[in-house]
Amino acid sequence: MKIQRALLSVSDKTGLESFARQLSELGIELLATGGTLRLLRQAGITVREVSEHTGFPEMMDGRVKTLHPKIHGGLLALRDEPTHRAAMEQHAIAPIDLVAVNLYPFERTVAREGCERAEAIENIDIGGPAMVRSAAKNHRFVTVVTDPLDYGRVLDELQKSGGATSESLRRELAQKAYALTARYDAAISRWLFEEDRKGASEWSFPSAFTLAGSLARGLRYGENSHQKAALYLTSESGPSAAKAEVVGEGKELSYNNFVDLDSALALCLEFDEPFVCVLKHNNPCGAAAAARIAEALAGAWAGDPLSAFGSVLGFTRPVDQASAEFLVSENRFVEAILAPSFEPDALERLKTGAKWGKNVRLLACGPLGTNARAAASLELKPLRGGFLLQERDLAVGGSGKLEVVTKAKPTPEQLAALVFANKVCKHVKSNAIVLATGAPSGDRSSRSMTVLGVGAGQMSRVDSVKLAVAKAGAGAQGSVLASDAFFPFPDGVENAIAAGVSAILQPGGSLRDKEVIAACDARQVPMVFTGVRHFRH
């Protein structure tokens, strides 16, 4: 289709001037609106105002300017349909063969601190999506360009084909256009839903929920080498492994790296103090909080040094030189690290201090902590033929609602260690058991807490206990235990107490709670109920 007339109306003006100038040099008449019109005229490019083309002025602060039959008739008319051609002639509708449109920056606007609802509403584009959809529907005749990165491809075809574009390119651009409007509408719908959720004592899930993302890049492969995979980005704000800055020159991030890094990030968001977690196969195998981040790293690694080899790490503080020295020494090896940032000396040491330094993936995601968690955050799990939607588990492990149910009472040190273990436990695959210890080092704020053993993903809770005890080894003596769900039988706590566990935390709620409590009372071991379960399947 040879292009005679193009309509340009863009918020993102990247590459616009060069694109428009080359279209004009090809003899294509240009129409434009608002800021696009001003920019092109200032550049000395011949362009007609849309209101001149339609004979109808812009009005209502620009809300109405392209919603006109001469625009949409020019886009939607089938060029090979006699009745359409007759209607065009009767109503003086000229064909529009190319549309270059990108939309008001709604997602960027609502992500800005302090954005008011009225401002967000004004950044909901109406005319832009309408033109994009009209042009994309009629892609047999009309070329629709929604991404400045495609300007070069369109110009290349125009120059090689005497001012025409191919049907294959128009089809591809139409698919991309509908993906844009789908994502745009999904972002607006989700924002409206989450705005109404804020501060609401009662709310319900929407009758329809759409998740849309934009392609960031293809990945080398998926979970396994025979599976294809790609990374898409959504409009969700806050710290993100998917959107973090990659520093250094490590290997390309893999599908499994992203899965593990996202889990590391979720665990880091439980803590405001210096904290490090070590993840392997989407489970924390080590974690520690301490007065300094390098101490936390050493404690986290010591929790399971064997599993830590080839792991993914999460830090709540910038990676410092002491942490880098620890990692490059003694044949330690990590696949990826996510942290708020990396000190320059630490970054250089990680890149040059070990054989794996040139391959390690280093991600800076900005400040972390409990305040960075989105209160309205939702998570989605795909199913064949549908998906599940739920609130994220942001409960702080029953903090403030702890109930001592045994005759023996936990010491303040034991209680602090139990809460720490519970925060880690909620990020372990069910059935989940975590053994930890708290070693006082001065005041309470500088207490060191360390995970000693993890039992994850077992089909019975007692097996998870046995696995955690085996991982902890001699460290089980005097440790504390957190369980993500209730003990259905006393055997789990009996095995733990026999291994030396000194205090236990669990949600409670089993039909056999009295038997489980009695098993603790028989050995004077304190048990705390939280009333909050933390399954993670």
What is the DSSP secondary structure assignment for residue 109, as one 8-state letter? Answer: H
For residue 438, give both structure tokens. 């708290």
Phi, psi (5° rounding) for residue 415? -65, -45
Q: Retrieve residue 1's tokens.
A: 């289709």
The catalytically annotated residue of 13, 137, 243, 251 is: 137
- Quote the CA–CA distance of 476 and 508 in Å, as a whole number: 22
Burial annotation 500-509 (CB, 10 A radius, 16+ → b, else e) = ebbbbbbbbe
Kindly state the helix (H) or strand (E) to which residue 399 belongs, with its residue range. none
Q: Known catalytic residue: 139?
A: no
User: Which whole-number Å values give the CA distances from 519 to 135, 404, 460, 482, 516, in the listed order?
Assistant: 72, 15, 19, 16, 5
Select from 300, 263, 289 the least CA-distant residue to 428: 263
Q: Provide the 10 A C-beta neighbour count for residue 392.
A: 14
CA 344, CA 362: separation in Å to the nearest integer?
A: 13
Sign of CA dihedral 297, 298, 303, 308: positive
Query: Which residues, 6 or more positions from 190, have their beta carbon under 8 angstroms from its beta carbon?
Result: 209, 210, 235
Alpha-carbon distance of 133 to 128, in angstroms, equals 9
Q: From the candidates 13, 84, 251, 281, which is the catalytic residue?
A: 281
Distance, in Å, from the CA atom of 338 to the CA atom of 343, rounded to the nearest integer, reads 13
Is 351 annotated in the active site?
no
Q: Which residue has the tokens 């070329």?
A: 143
Query: Residue-wise over 456-489: b if at least 16 C-beta within 10 A, else e?
Result: bbbeebbbbbbbbbebbeebbeebbbbbbbbbbb
- Tell me whether residue 337 is exposed, middle or buried, using C-beta atoms within 10 angstroms of its C-beta: 0 to 12, 13 to 18, 19 or more: buried
Backbone region of residue 214 per phi and psi (left: phi > 0; alpha: psi in -120 to 50; beta: other values): beta
Check if the beta carbon of residue 337 is closer than 8 Å to that of residue 291.
no
| Residue 493 CB coordination number (10 Å) | 27
Active site residues: 137, 281
